[in-house]
Amino acid sequence: MATEIRQSAEAVARCLAQADVIADIAARVRPLDPAVVVVCARGSSGHAGTFLRYLLARDLGLVAAAAMPSIASLYGRRQRVGGMFFVAISQSGGSPDLIRQTEDAHNAGALTLAIVNDAASPLAQTCELVLDIQAGPERSVAATKTVLASLAAVMALTSAMSADTALAAALRRLPERLDAAAALDWSPLTEELSRVDRMFTVGRGPGLAIAAEAALKLAETTGVAGLAYSSAELSHGPRALAGPDFPLLAFVQDDAGRAGTAALLDVLAALGAPVFAAGLAGPDIQTLPTLADDHADTDLLPQLLSFYLATEAAARARGRDPDHPPGLLKVTKTV
């Protein structure tokens, strides 16, 4: 896992080098002018899908919906997605439920795109368009470099669809920044994770996808129960759990959600909850080191890489093998 985390910069660089492929995909979508985009994914790929849905909604004003694969695979119902853009994200491209729903979408007249790490996979063969993230083989059960490459891919796609030159420029700087993030010291978080059994992970907007990915990695590698929330949702009922025995980790980017997240973290810190934050400082907050702000969206990926390394170290400190979590397989085939 640690080796593959440190390969992320190269993986992302390979993915982003496919500028022509990504531009061609955007050119295929443009005349369709879909009002709705459906994103089909599970697990870590589902978090990349959440990131994509936020970007498409915010930057292009599209209705970006999450698919429900069991509607096709378990309940046998075809949905009316003709004329829509249907994006399936999967590292292996081998899960039967994703394949089934994507086939149904294709047959219903949707324009289908597979974002995969295996261009020869059954899911890729089902789709009209394919974006191979080219992360290379990933042997650890916990996905890391494939997640970062998938996140880079969805940003590049959104940038091409929206002609966002600022995001495109930030993506060119991203591999170097990922390398730099690997040298940051997140040992205070590692130490906290070595002794707790639960943690809130928090983000807002695209940052929610990063928080969800962090919660998953906590569960599968360290055995810490991670609960991921938007800072807006955490402001409601779940905040009642916050306290000295229930720490919180926030991923914060420099956008419209930053002020509200900062206010919430101050409140929770005042309740005695240990608060760790990337991208935010405060008198009662344990600020984790991050790179200087560059672009609000791309900045979340170096934060996630630093988190991965801290989590891998915490798993070992807890006597667990992060490369082979108990009861899990590298490819999960849901039906």
- pLDDT tens profile 241-297: 788 889 999 999 999 999 999 999 999 998 899 999 999 998 899 999 999 999 999
CATH topology of domain 2-174: Rossmann fold (3.40.50)
Which neighbouring-strand residues pair with 225? 198
Q: Find, among 232, 223, 235, 220, the residue nearest to 198 by Cα.
A: 223
At 224, give phi and psi (nearest 5°): -80, 130
pLDDT value at 329 more than 70: no
Q: What percent of the chain has pLDDT over 70?
A: 97
pLDDT of residue 242: 80
CA distance to 26, 68, 188, 236, 238, per residue, from 280 (Å)? 34, 35, 15, 22, 22
**Per-residue pLDDT averaged across 184-201, rounded?**
96
Three-state secondary-structure class, residue 232: helix
**Per-residue pLDDT averaged across 108-134, rounded?**
97
pLDDT of residue 204: 97
CA distance to 49, 278, 290, 312, per residue, from 182 (Å)? 24, 14, 10, 12
Q: Which residue has the higher pLDDT, 306 or 282?
A: 306
Mean pLDDT rounded to a whole number for the chain: 95
Domains of the chain: which residue ranges?
A: 2-174, 181-317
Q: How confident is the model at residue 235 (pLDDT cuts 50, 70, 90)?
A: confident
**Per-residue pLDDT averaged across 66-95, rounded?**
93
Q: How confident is the model at residue 73 (pLDDT cuts 50, 70, 90)?
A: confident
pLDDT of residue 327: 72
Measured CA to CA, the distance from residue 137 to residue 64 in angstroms comes to 30
**Per-residue pLDDT averaged across 316-324, rounded?**
94
Global pTM reads: 0.96
CATH of domain 181-317: 3.40.50.10490
DSSP string, 276-323: EEES---TTSEEEP-PPP--TTTTHHHHHHHHHHHHHHHHHHTT--TT
Measured CA to CA, the distance from residue 142 to residue 4 in angstroms comes to 10
Left (φ > 0), alpha (ψ -120 to 50) or beta: where does 138 sit? beta
First vs last C-alpha separation in the chain? 27
pLDDT of residue 237: 74
pLDDT value at 240 more than 90: no
pLDDT in tens, 124-178: 999 999 999 999 999 998 999 999 999 999 999 999 999 999 999 999 999 999 9
- Sequence length of the chain is 335
pLDDT of residue 219: 95
Measured CA to CA, the distance from residue 97 to residue 278 in angstroms comes to 35
Q: Find, among 73, 70, 101, 71, the residue nearest to 86 by Cα.
A: 101
Q: Which residue has the higher pLDDT, 239 or 74?
A: 74
Q: How confident is the model at residue 331 (pLDDT cuts 50, 70, 90)?
A: low
Measured CA to CA, the distance from residue 290 to residue 277 in angstroms comes to 10
Using a 10 angstrom Cβ sphere, with 0-12 exposed, 13-18 middle and 19 or more buried, the burial of residue 286 is middle
